[in-house]
Amino acid sequence: MEFFTYNYFVNQSSNSHIYQYLLVILALIIILLLILRRSKNKSRLKYRDLIILLSLLLVFLIGIQANDYQKGKAEKGNYSQMLFFLNAVSKKKLVDPETISVNYKYLKDEMVLKINNKYYQVNFNSDFTTFKLEETVLVNDESIKVTGK
């Protein structure tokens, strides 16, 4: 079972796709250079295939970027909800939020919290505005992996 710490949610950044942005910009520059070279060259068919292939690559990369942007936007919303929840739990239990870890990356009914060395099952109401913590026992607490220390 994998648990995620408070710091894991704080440290998630949206700059992880910088290489894809650079690749799109590089493909755009190459296409522009080839178009300029083609317009100066007498042979009209010399760079046409290469321009078409690079244009298709660019469209493909832009599609990937749009998809990743949508995923990142949804994850950021989930992470901010989780941070808000973890702060609420830390105030209720009078503990530092950095001592809390959770077994899901998004709010989910019946997820498990680890606060110090105790485990709690979280029960939410239907619209996730209230919660109840019940102390629970894990069957095998030796298999726990904590991410984001």
pLDDT per residue over 68-123, tens digit each?
778 878 888 888 899 999 999 999 999 999 999 999 988 999 999 999 889 999 99
User: In terms of pTM, does the model score above 0.85?
Assistant: no
The span from the CA of 50 to the CA of 33, in Å, is: 11
- Please state whether 110 falls in left (phi above 0), alpha (psi between -120 and 50) or beta: left
Q: Which of 17-26, 43-52, 59-68, 131-140 has the highest mean pLDDT?
A: 131-140
**Residue 123: both structure tokens together:** 């029960």
Q: What b-and-e string marks burial along 1-40, b requiring 16 or more CB atoms within 10 Å of the CB?
A: eebbbbebbeebeeeeeeeeeebbeebeeebeebeeebee
- How many CA atoms are closer than 13 Å to the CA of 51, on its beta-carbon side? 14
- What is the DSSP secondary-structure string of 19-56? HHHHHHHHHHHHHHHHHHHHHHSS-SSTTHHHHHHHHH
Per-residue pLDDT band for 46 (boundaries 50, 70, 90) equals low
Q: What are phi and psi of 134, to 5 degrees?
A: -125, 125
- Average per-residue pLDDT in the chain? 83
